[in-house]
Structure 1
Amino acid sequence: MKGKSSPKKFIFITGGVASSLGKGLAAASIAGLLERRGLKVNMLKMDPYINVDPGTMSPTQHGEVFVTDDGAETDLDLGHYERFTSLTLSRTSNFTTGQVYLQVIENEREGKYLGKTVQVVPHITEEIKRRIHIAAEDAEVLLGEIGGTVGDIESQPFVESIRQLAHDVGPENVLFIHLVLVPYLGAAGELKTKPAQHSVKELRSMGLFPQIIICRSDREIESSLVDKISLFCNVQKENVFQSIDVDTIYQVPLSLHAQGLDQRIANLLGIWAAAPKIDDLEKVVFNFKNPLRKVKIGIVGKYTELVESYKSLDEALNHAANSCQLELEPVYIDAEELEKGNDEVLSNVQGILVPGGFGQRGTEGKIAAIKYARENKLPFFGICLGMQLAMIEYARNIVGLETATSEEFGSGGDLVVHFMEGQSQEGSKGGSMRLGAYDCELLDGSYAKKVYGASIISERHRHRLEVNNIYASKISEAGMVISGINKELDLVEVVELSEHPHFIACQYHPEFKSRPYSAHPLFKAFIEKADQYGK
């Protein structure tokens, strides 16, 4: 930018017509391109729902909960933000209507408003703006995304807040980008721009005048339709861009860059910056389009009907496969089907992954899958609950503790897994687990240390149960190697089987730190061993 005295720039992204258009991917792509131009960016997701955070929401409804280093339970879009940039985000990068109202109500109870009537304007909007400015503190450019769809009643305070903010900091320092759907109607045999026009009309009625429109479509939008959108939405034609369905999400920033979006943004905001370095993303896309062969991975879980429940996990597997120039073929296996004895699917995969989760439903199916992987020397990778169940399976079938179980499933039997100190099933559910980054020390000579190439690692957690150290020594004596521990809390973090080609499990969630151009070592090692299986 034009020297240190340059004013801070703000880019706000809204969406219209329908939800799930890909605002998060568009925001992440733009941030990645601007960062690659040498700008210091930060990102913010503003969620209009009244939940304080997504930590208590069903993953089948909302998708996964993404955890930051500082222990915030956040929207899954923050995962996209980190994967498309070099950012390590924090709790200041995501806030909800619930958090805003909670803070304003607490302020009112403490008398901070000096007896005034507390209203949406100015009190709620001022709190929203305060949080936006906090997110922008250490950045030259802040990209803020408003969740939901323009016209939703719950998003109105956010739209009003960014309208006010543009007035506060000067309209020359703020850019509004609106993402719209341009659907194809099969009966008419053509793309329709009317939904986009109505969406922009709705936005303009609220005082926001978008300078850039990004059109989502499943096919190329012809020039005459771009002209129409430009005319009826009062946006220059060179400021109308297309976001067409692509084979991999990592093509999105390359597609937008090819259309000149990042340069147009720089021009509109008066930013001087170098051309972006996109070699790393180009290599990812090349490997995706030119795989040497497929690798078939079985993912055993409860939420098999929705990939969004395991979004970071799915991405981390793809990153690892891509780094080996392989095509990932995920096989989502319903754990409850395995409980019925329908385990034929396990013989058709090259590796088994048991991810994290909560509750007893499906756990016996997951244990059956772990037993199959252990006995058949099939590459296995367990995460969080997956590690706990691996310990339970080993305790039952090798150590001889037939009643081995987890305290999460009841208080009877040998509680190989129990609630951490200060944790229980009762009490507050939101933000009350062990959350965020913790150090782990890896055992000398272990497979885990070989994979990481380091003795001390830091990984993100989200759990309230742990391996019971009373049983850990018995399980270790029987042959399972405890290869990673948190010394500060004396917690088992990583276990492995040395006589197995690849049997490793961890208490933390490594998927949160994987990047497309830097695959996580645990996922990469798993994919490499799976690719070798049966050869």
Structure 2
Amino acid sequence: MKIGIIGEFNPAFIPHTATNQAIVHSCTQLDVSIETEWISTENAEHDFDSMISRCNGFWIAPGSPYRSMKGALNVIEYARKNGRPLLGTCGGYQHVVIEFARNVLQIDDADHAEYDPYASKLVISKLACSLVGQRLDVLLHNKQSIVYKIFRKERIAENYYCNFGLNPDYQKVLDDNGLKTVGVDENGESRIVELQDHPFFISTLFVPQSRSTQESPHPLVSSFIQHVINTR
């Protein structure tokens, strides 16, 4: 079993090294063995068929802008349509939103302010205040969601590394069409999205891997890995 981690690995970027460590923490907790492979977004674009044939699940990593937005979006679309477990964190969350807006909502020019701040349809926009380095509460308001069943609590505290998030103008239309906001900040703005009727397709604007330790693996990472292990 293998997880494809989609992004340009940078050993100096804490969320990337934390991703590797969090997977080890959860595998130890679950007493399972799983391979991981960092796959650059460029390789995801140009070696797509080979990549999807060798990966059972995908983690869309922090660290945008990616070298190839198309590569990241292709992986997200494949996982969405084919029931493959997917976890997106930080930049991964942002690109999950872009893929859904373009391919499900048919907003062909849906874009990301980090790539083009002057785009006409900024589905991902700059946050009013940077969240880099902050730990903030997230409210889990949908008790029917997979996310709520993982945490079994209504409030969690998580770490952020981002400057961009879902434009609130698009939150309702995403929700109405199946990409449900299942976690929000104190102002009701989206912080976790979950695809309805999918085994595991969850993305967080925060970086759960940064809160994982050997003694206390992050429950969201552990649940993702369990779903990958169960994928056939």
- Fold match, TM over 0.5? yes
CA distance in 2, matches of 1:349, 1:336: 16
**Residue 481 of structure 1 aligns to a residue in which SS?**
strand
2:44·2:51 contact (CA, 8 Å) conserved in 1? no
1:312·1:511 contact (CA, 8 Å) conserved in 2? yes
Letter in 2 for 1:481: K
Matches within 5 A, 1:84-95: none
Unaligned ranges ≥5, structure 2? none
Letter in 2 for 1:446: S
Letter in 2 for 1:525: S
Following superposition, the deviation at residue 505 of structure 1 comes to: 0.5
Following superposition, the deviation at residue 396 of structure 1 comes to: 0.7
Letter in 2 for 1:474: V
2:194·2:201 contact (CA, 8 Å) conserved in 1? yes
Following superposition, the deviation at residue 346 of structure 1 comes to: 1.6
Q: Where does residue 136 of structure 2 map in the other structure? A: 438
Structure 2 residue 150 is the aligned partner of structure 1 residue 451: yes
Letter in 2 for 1:480: L
Q: Where does residue 255 of structure 1 map in the other structure? A: none
Larger radius of gyration between Structure 1 and Structure 2: 1
CA distance in 1, matches of 2:46, 2:204: 27
Following superposition, the deviation at residue 435 of structure 1 comes to: 2.7
Matches within 5 A, 1:224-373: 295-303=1-9, 306-307=10-11, 309=13, 310-340=16-46, 342-373=48-79
CA distance in 2, matches of 1:359, 1:315: 23
Q: Where does residue 379 of structure 1 map in the other structure? A: 85
Structure 2 residue 179 is the aligned partner of structure 1 residue 480: yes
Aligned length: 228
Q: 2:198 aligns with which of 491, 500, 504?
A: 500
CA distance in 1, matches of 2:76, 2:48: 14
CA distance in 2, matches of 1:360, 1:346: 19
Structure 2 residue 168 is the aligned partner of structure 1 residue 461: no
Letter in 1 for 2:163: R
- Deviations along 1:353-403, whole A, 9 cap, x unmatched? 011113242222111111111111100000001011001101111111111
Following superposition, the deviation at residue 307 of structure 1 comes to: 4.8
Q: Where does residue 105 of structure 2 map in the other structure? A: 399
- Matched-pair identity in %: 27
Q: Where does residue 225 of structure 2 map in the other structure? A: 527
2:127·2:164 contact (CA, 8 Å) conserved in 1? yes
CA distance in 1, matches of 2:206, 2:21: 17
Q: Where does residue 39 of structure 1 map in the other structure? A: none
Instruction: Indicate how the Cα distance of structure 1 residues 350 and 307 shifts in structure 2: closer, same or farther if over 3 A, else same.
Output: farther
Matches within 5 A, 1:63-142: none
Instruction: Indicate how the Cα distance of structure 1 residues 392 and 444 shifts in structure 2: closer, same or farther if over 3 A, else same.
Output: same
**Residue 159 of structure 2 aligns to a residue in which SS?**
strand
1:301·1:362 contact (CA, 8 Å) conserved in 2? no
Matches within 5 A, 1:504-523: 504-523=202-221
Question: Whose helix fraction is larger, Structure 1's or Structure 2's?
Answer: 1
CA distance in 1, matches of 2:79, 2:11: 23
TM-score normalised to structure 2 length: 0.93
Following superposition, the deviation at residue 340 of structure 1 comes to: 2.6
Following superposition, the deviation at residue 530 of structure 1 comes to: 0.3
Letter in 1 for 2:104: I
Unaligned ranges ≥5, structure 1? 1-294, 423-431
CA distance in 1, matches of 2:166, 2:27: 31
CA distance in 1, matches of 2:215, 2:12: 21
Following superposition, the deviation at residue 341 of structure 1 comes to: 5.2
Structure with the larger RCO, 1 or 2 (CA within 8 Å, 6+ apart): 2
Q: Structure 1 runs of 4+ off > 6 angstroms? A: none
**Residue 408 of structure 1 aligns to a residue in which SS?**
coil
Following superposition, the deviation at residue 484 of structure 1 comes to: 0.3
Letter in 1 for 2:124: V
- Deviations along 1:137-169, whole A, 9 cap, x unmatched? xxxxxxxxxxxxxxxxxxxxxxxxxxxxxxxxx
**Residue 134 of structure 2 aligns to a residue in which SS?**
strand
1:466·1:491 contact (CA, 8 Å) conserved in 2? no
CA distance in 2, matches of 1:319, 1:360: 27
Structure 2 residue 120 is the aligned partner of structure 1 residue 413: yes
**Residue 517 of structure 1 aligns to a residue in which SS?**
coil
**Residue 181 of structure 2 aligns to a residue in which SS?**
strand
1:360·1:408 contact (CA, 8 Å) conserved in 2? no
CA distance in 1, matches of 2:136, 2:186: 10
CA distance in 2, matches of 1:352, 1:405: 22
Following superposition, the deviation at residue 308 of structure 1 comes to: 5.4
CA distance in 1, matches of 2:24, 2:184: 28
CA distance in 2, matches of 1:439, 1:417: 21
